[in-house]
Chains A and B, each alone.
Chain A
Amino acid sequence: MKKKWRELPIAVGMLAPSAVILGLFVVYPLVRAIQLGHLRCDATGKRCRDGGWGQYIDVFRSNEFQHALANTARLALMTVPIGLALGVGLAVLADKQIRGIGFFRTVFSSTVATSVAVASLIWFVLLQPEIGVLPNLFHGIIPSLKQPGLLRDPATALPAVALSSIWASLGFTFIVITAALQGIPRELYESAYVDGAGGWMRFSNVTLPMLGPTILFTSVVLTTRAFQSYAEVALLTGGGPDPQRPTQTLPYLIYGQNSLVKNDIGLKSAAAVLLFFVLLVLAFVQFRGLDKRVHYGS
Chain B
Amino acid sequence: MKRLAVLAAAALVVAAACGSGKSIISAGRQPPVATQPAPVTLPPGETLPVGQTLPPAETTIAPTTTAALLDTLPQCPTDALASATGPVQLTFWHGMSGPLNDALQQLTDTYNAGQSKVKVTLIQGTYEQTIDKYLQSGQSSRPDLVQMPEYMVQSMVDSKSVVPVEACMKSSGFDSSAFLPTGLAAYATQGVQWSMPFNISNPVLYYNKRMFKVAGLDPEKPPVSLDDLRADSQAIVTSGAAKYGLALDSGFDSGGGWYIEQWFAKAGEFYADNQNGRSARATQVLYNNPTGQSLLTFMQSMLTDGLAVNVGDNATTGFDNLLKLGDANEPAAMTIATSASTGTVINVLGSGQFPQITNADVGVAAMPGPGGKPGALVGGGSLWVVDSGDAARTAAAWDFITYLTGAQQQSQWASVTGYVPVRTDALTLDPLKTKLATDPRYKVPYDQLLASPDVPTSVGPILGPLREVRTVTAQAVAAIFGGADVATSLAAAVQQANALIADYNARNG
Contacts and interface: CB of A to CB of B under 8 A. Distances in A.
12 contacts: A40-B28, A63-B20, A148-B310, A242-B250, A243-B478, A258-B252, A263-B132, A263-B155, A281-B11, A285-B4, A285-B11, A290-B1
B310 A139 contact: no
Nearest to B4: A289
Interface in B328-367: 328-330
A61 B19 CA distance: 4
Nearest to A148: B312
B8 interface: yes
Interface string B1-22: 1011001100110011011111
B466 to A, nearest CB: 11
A265 interface: yes
Interface of A: 38-45, 47, 49, 51-52, 54-55, 58-66, 69-70, 73, 77, 124, 128-131, 136, 139, 146-149, 152, 234-243, 245, 257-263, 265-267, 270-271, 281-282, 285-286, 289-290
Nearest to B480: A243
B472 interface: yes
Contact of B28 (A52, A73, A265, A289): A52
Nearest to A259: B471
B64 interface: no
Contacts of B116: none
B18 A60 contact: yes
Contact of A261 (B15, B24, B311, B312): B24
A280 to B, nearest CB: 12
A63 B312 contact: no
B28 A42 contact: no
Interface of B: 1, 3-4, 7-8, 11-12, 15-16, 18-30, 128, 131-132, 135-136, 155, 158-161, 250, 252, 256, 309-313, 315-317, 320, 323-324, 326-330, 464-465, 467-468, 471-472, 474-479, 482, 484, 500, 504, 507-508
A265 B136 contact: yes
A39 to B, nearest CB: 8
B4, B309, B328 pick with most chain A CB within 10 angstroms: B4
Contacts of A266: 28
B28 A64 contact: no
Contact of B329 (A40, A136, A260): A136
A236 B316 CA distance: 6
B20 A62 contact: yes
A130 B311 contact: yes
Contacts of B136: 44-45, 265
Contacts of A41: 507
Given A51-B27, A261-B24, A263-B467, 15 more contacts: A43-B158, A43-B159, A43-B508, A44-B159, A51-B29, A54-B28, A61-B20, A63-B23, A129-B311, A240-B313, A241-B312, A242-B250, A260-B23, A263-B131, A263-B135
